[in-house]
Amino acid sequence: MKTLIIITLAFSISMTLGGCSSTPDKHPRSLQNEPQTHSSRALPGTNPAVIKLYAQHKSWKGTRYKLGGLSKKGIDCSGFVHITYKERFGKTLPRTTELQAKAGTGITRQQLRAGDLVFFNTSRKVRHVGIYIEDGKFLHASTSKGVMISNINNVYWKEAYWKAVRI
């Protein structure tokens, strides 16, 4: 628990000092049952999905972006989502952003909770995917900074937001 508190504190400081990312119905049981808001969680860091996602970030942080990549030598956004779901949640997702966007059930931005996939239109023909963690943060493989956590409310991501899907 002490380590988790230190990691959480270090992450909060780094998010404050660092910039955001790159520039330019029935469904299977969800990863958790409660929405991710301050009022719905008893203690910070006790949600199993949130803990798994921060652990994945710690393990992959800074891994460079490589289109089509599927390893720590280089990975793209949909590959990172594919591997994260397999490693942390034991679920197999499609490999491409296009197919991941069709998996699961569409949800609103207000319904986001840990483990939901968030999709962005980063250019006319390019889509980007990440995994929502909590409090506006999502985990993804950025083209400029590699695997990182960004804030969905950052101007760039807010304008590029397309949709969200719950697996």
Torsion of CA 160, 126, 18, 45, to 10 degrees: 80
Question: For every residue of the chain, which 3-state class applies, written as one string?
Answer: CHHHHHHHHHHHHHHHHCCCCCCCCCCCCCCCCCCCCHHHCCCCCCCHHHHHHHHHHHHHCCCCECCCCEECCEECHHHHHHHHHHHHHCCCCCCCHHHHCCCCEEECHHHCCCCCEEEEECCCCCEEEEEEEECCEEEEEECCCEEEEEECCCHHHHHHEEEEEEC
Q: Is 140 a catalytic residue?
A: yes
- 98 domain residue, yes or no: yes
- 18 domain residue, yes or no: no
Range of the domain at 110: 46-166
- 39 domain residue, yes or no: no
- 156 domain residue, yes or no: yes
- 134 domain residue, yes or no: yes
pLDDT tens, residue by residue, 64-81? 999 999 999 999 999 999
- 21 domain residue, yes or no: no
Structurally, the chain folds into a number of domains equal to: 1
> From the candidates 20, 57, 82, 128, which is the catalytic residue?
128
- 41 domain residue, yes or no: no
CATH number of the domain that 63 lies in? 3.90.1720.10
Please give the span between the terminal C-alpha atoms of the chain, in angstroms, as a whole number: 28
Q: What is the pLDDT along the chain (167 residues), one digit of tens a residue?
A: 544 444 443 433 333 223 233 333 233 333 433 333 333 444 555 899 999 999 999 999 999 999 999 999 999 999 999 999 999 999 999 999 999 999 999 999 999 999 999 999 998 889 999 999 999 999 999 999 999 999 999 999 999 999 999 99
pLDDT tens, residue by residue, 136-162? 999 999 999 999 999 999 999 999 999
Q: What is the pTM of this model?
A: 0.74
Q: Is 20 a catalytic residue?
A: no
> From the candidates 20, 57, 77, 82, which is the catalytic residue?
77
> From the candidates 20, 57, 82, 140, which is the catalytic residue?
140
- 15 domain residue, yes or no: no
- Rounded Cα distance between 91 and 64, Å, is 24
